[in-house]
Structure 1
Amino acid sequence: MDRELTKERLRSLPAIDRLVAAAGCKNDLQQFPYPLLVEKIRQVVDEARQKIQQGEVVDISVPALLTDVLLKFEAAAKPSLRTVINATGVVLHTNLGRAPLSIRAKSMVEKVLTGYCNLEYNIASGERGSRYSHIVKRLCTITGAEDALVVNNNAAAVLLVLSGLAKGKEVIVSRGELVEIGGAFRVPDVLRQSGAQLIEVGTTNKTHLYDYEQAISLNTGAILKVHTSNYKIVGFTAQPDSKELSLLARRHNLPLIEDLGSGTLVPLSFGGDREPSVQESLAVGFDIVTFSGDKLMGGSQGGIIAGKAEYIGRLKKHPLLRAIRIDKLSLAALEGTLMDYQLGNPVCDVPVLNMLHRTQEELYDRAKRLADKIRPLADTGWNISINQLVSQAGGGALPTAALPSYGVAVTPGRYSAAALETQLRVRENPIIVRVQEEKVIFDVRCMTDSDLDETAKILLEISKSMDQ
């Protein structure tokens, strides 16, 4: 486009006032607040101006520009945070929100979502209450702890425990347990923020009881054990028995703390990998145990602190607690999940546990259902097969456990697997898959019945659009 033509096109851009007046006659634009309407119109005109200056051909008629304005409003009305279908086979997929909630937990959230609730009100006495009272008794009953507390995540729980019990003092940690969790958050960094001083003992692969004992001084504030839930050190290794560590802490009158990380309330063992339960840790002698609410426990995001009443009592008075306290919706979901453990069958009722325990027969049947639903795609040149797969627990749990699974592998005819993956991902209801060896893989371990139906429907729609 030559310079004179560009100038002419720029001069032909409708004035903002003219577009605003025209928008006032369109029912689908009248509903929006006037200042926001003007803002969107200005954005559309500015974008059209930039395209003209770059030599692009742009329809600058009033109807076309107002259509662009309406598209901007439609885009603004779409939430950024939305549900997806998890066909990756990773049960606790951190990028996909970790644990999906149980039916009971969702119901609890819905009940407190739209109205008032007794978050910090004691109905029996008619006086102010504590938000933590709603879950303390249930947690203590399930875990055997004397007392409990919950904050907004496990990193915050560790920060509060160290700040409340060992600020200004030394905390002894095995060098082999100085873990890094997702997002580059490291135990040494959390410990440093708490005001405690890290004392590393042992080596990467071996730490003995005498390493801890030799490090104890008059300024020691606590012994911290960090469960390496997101990796394993194997081979020539050694760590002291937890019971021995507990006896050592008792002799020196020190609190023994365990950051259990992913934390499970039921025994879990898959593929030779095993996760210690919260109950086991407390029974063996740990004074304080911290763990996540939205990992193996299968609830909402939260950092749970369970243990001895004397230490929990000190933490409840700590000023940091208010800054990291849990909100009412997470608290409602957490209580609902704990009720699943108390009143139901958690392996059936808590989705995470249900997915982890799905049998090979069940997984094969689910894969076959999906394959049968999309079998018509084979007539258009797509290749469809039921494959044996390996799923993962994810979420920094059971790192070496390979979970045998089944899924459906799809090769989309003359199109690439990458192109199909993109089509699935950018849908209104995105489907997140794996791509291996030019095949799109749908691992059915984490897929619900409705997910299977929706996936089949979307694949059939994509096939039609690709072939047009």
Structure 2
Amino acid sequence: MKQPMPDKQLQLKSLPGVDHILTLAETDDRFIRVPRSLVLESVRRAIDDIRTQILEHRPLVVSDEAIIKQAALLAARKMKNRLGPLINATGVVLHTNLGRAVLCREALDNIVAVSSSYSNLELNLSTGKRGIRYEAIEALICELTGAQAAMAVNNNAGAVLLALNTLAQGRQVIVSRGELVEIGGAFRVPDVMIKSGCILKEVGTTNRTHPHDYTHAITEETGLLLKVHTSNYKIEGFTTSVSLKDVVGIGKSHGIPVMEDLGSGTLIDLSAFGLPSEPPVSEQVASGADVVTFSGDKLLGGPQAGIIVGTKQCLDQIRANPLTRALRIDKMTLAGLEATLKLYRDTRVAVEKIPTLKMLTLPYEQICQDAEVLLSLVTEAVGDRAELALADMTSRPGGGSCPGLTLPTRCLTIRPETMSVTSLDKQLRAFDPPVMGRIENNCFIIDPRTLQPGQNKILANILKKLMN
């Protein structure tokens, strides 16, 4: 026999007042570290939620404990940081959505040391007078790249915007049509150029550009020749492009400065580690470019920054641009960047200590060993509640770096018995810490390449809790 619905009006009348619940919350351990203003907001919200459920005739128990529990849950959500760490099991090393480069221990230690105290951010300790914040990294960058001068701003798009605005505002900038790239978030080189106050002059075709395309396009209105490294895609087949060295030659013969946007940018020759060759910054500087820009948080493996290197004349002009102050980096970025750059004085040390480089160059044999350990841990944790196996797959550099490159890897595949794969994926993302993997062939995939030290055990414990 169907039970009669509880009387809606009686339930509404039985709702306790806010003050009553607040008094109970004062002695409840779940609210110990919660500010009173947030406790009040959570209690009001909890009572309102239950009132709504009553009005919608949804079955529930109206009690002080039910309201306190709901309020505590709401308060906990508010107290939790929105930005937090997670486990990257996707195999994408420079995952833009997951914060790109993981910083090395040296960078983290330096950030803490500098940001937890006063520092000589803009103080010349020799003279006791105001200094320039870029002095913390300029000499180091010049040492590593061979450039005359260097500085850094908030990101590479900012670096490109600033350099273009400084060197060619109101004038034409010649770019090959095949280099008008679009980066993540639909930001495009032509749009950045418009905002910089420059006039775009396209030359060549999508797949073929020749030296004469540049020379024929040069007029009295030309302010800059721009090369853009296609770091996030490749054009293959019937193609021709003009090298930076050749563009520099054209620029010098016409008295026009040349700039290259390297995009990702690397300080070492990755081909020495079995990866496709990406042009190191030092090679581009040696080609004679007046300005080269690149990212700090991609292949470099440091904090987000846009690094500008080049001739002293051009860099002096860029520093004097009022936009430089609007785009400047803070002490924490400088501290992390300096510590990361110092590791590049020894390539072997850089590859060992900078997580991005270590993950990219991780030998397949090592990944196989890591996968075996992971399989053993997860098998012990979940038992027969999931079908587990190892499979050869591929990882990706990500972050608009090394386009088309895939890295051989061995992954753990999980096919749960007690829930769907999509449900497992959703629950892993909702866990604390969240876990990001990928789904292929109705299996949840965990790629050991991007797991940080100790995370295999954490993952096993998380899976155990979710599948019990």
**Superimposed CA distance per residue, residues 223-245 of structure 1 (whole angstroms, 9 cap, x where no aligned partner):** 11100100000000001122111
2:352 matched to which residue of 1? 348
2:389 to 385, 388, 403: 385
* Change in CA separation of 1:275 and 1:79 when aligned onto 2, cut-off 3 Å: same
In structure 2, relative to structure 1, the CA distance for the partners of 1:382 and 1:18 (3 Å cut) is closer
2:171 corresponds to: 169
Partner in structure 2 of residue 371 of structure 1: 375
Distance 2:449 2:27 in 1: 52
Is contact 2:147-2:310 (8 Å) kept? yes
- Residue 53 (structure 1) aligned to one of 40, 52, 55: 55
398-407 or 168-177: bigger deviation: 398-407
Q: Tell me the distance in 2 between the aligned counterparts of 1:179 and 1:295.
A: 17
Within 1, Cα distance between the matches of 2:114 and 2:286? 35
Contact 2:382 2:467 in 1 (8 A): no
TM-score, normalising length: structure 1: 0.95
Q: Using the alignment, how far apart are the partners of 2:55 and 2:270 within structure 1? A: 63
Deviation of the 1:114 alpha carbon:
1.9
Amino acid paired to 1:396: G
How big is the shift at 1:129? 1.2
- Aligned letter for 2:179? E
Q: Is 2:120 aligned against 1:121?
A: no
Q: Distance in 2 between matches of 1:265 and 1:272?
A: 14
Corresponding residue for 2:452?
A: 448
For 2:149, the equivalent position in structure 1 comes to 147
Query: Separation in 2 of the partners of 1:409 and 1:26?
Result: 43
Where do residues 11-410 of structure 1 align in structure 2 (5 Å cutoff)?
11-26=13-28, 28-29=30-31, 32-269=34-271, 273-342=276-345, 345-376=349-380, 379-410=383-414
How many equivalent residue pairs?
464
Q: Which moved more, 1:121-130 or 1:26-35?
A: 26-35
Deviations 1:18-57 (A, max 9, x none): 3333334445446544433322222222222222111113
Q: Which stretch of structure 1 is more off in the superposition, 260-269 or 442-451?
A: 442-451
Q: CA deviation at 1:8?
A: 2.6
Shift of 1:5: 2.3
Distance in 2 between the 1:25 and 1:391 partners?
51
Shift, 1:366, TM fit: 0.6
How far apart, CA to CA, are the structure 2 residues paired with 1:58 and 1:382? Answer: 35
Amino acid at match of 1:173: V
Shift of residue 272, structure 1, vs aligned partner: 7.2
* SS of residue in 1 equivalent to 2:267: coil
| CA deviation after TM superposition for structure 1 residue 81, in Å | 1.0
Q: What is the rounded CA distance, in whole Å, between the counterparts of 2:315 and 2:260 in structure 1?
A: 14
CA deviations on 1:196-241 (whole Å, 9 max, x unpaired) are 0000111000011111111111011101110010000000000112
Relative distance call for 1:457 and 1:31 in structure 2 (3 A) is closer
Asked if 2 retains the 8 angstrom alpha-carbon contact of 1:367 and 1:407, the reply is yes
Q: Which moved more, 1:354-363 or 1:188-197?
A: 354-363
Task: Tell me: CA distance 1:124–1:2, structure 2 relative to 1, closer, same or farther (3 Å).
Answer: farther
Paired with 1:22 and 1:369, the residues of 2 have a C-alpha distance of 49
How far 1:377 sits from its partner (Å)? 5.9
RMSD: 1.9
Supply the distance in 2 between the matched residues of 1:113 and 1:40 (Cα, whole angstroms): 34
- 1:427 maps to what in 2? 431
Structure 1 SS opposite 2:344: helix
Distance between the aligned counterparts of 1:370 and 1:30, measured in 2? 38
Change (3 A) 1:268 1:27: closer
Calculate percent identity across the aligned residue pairs. 42
Tell me by how many angstroms 1:312 deviates.
Answer: 0.4
Shift of 1:286: 1.1
Cα 1:362–1:217 shift into 2, 3 Å: same
Amino acid at match of 2:123: Y
Ranges in structure 1 where 5+ consecutive residues have no aligned partner:
none
Conserved? CA contact 2:382–2:463, under 8 Å: no
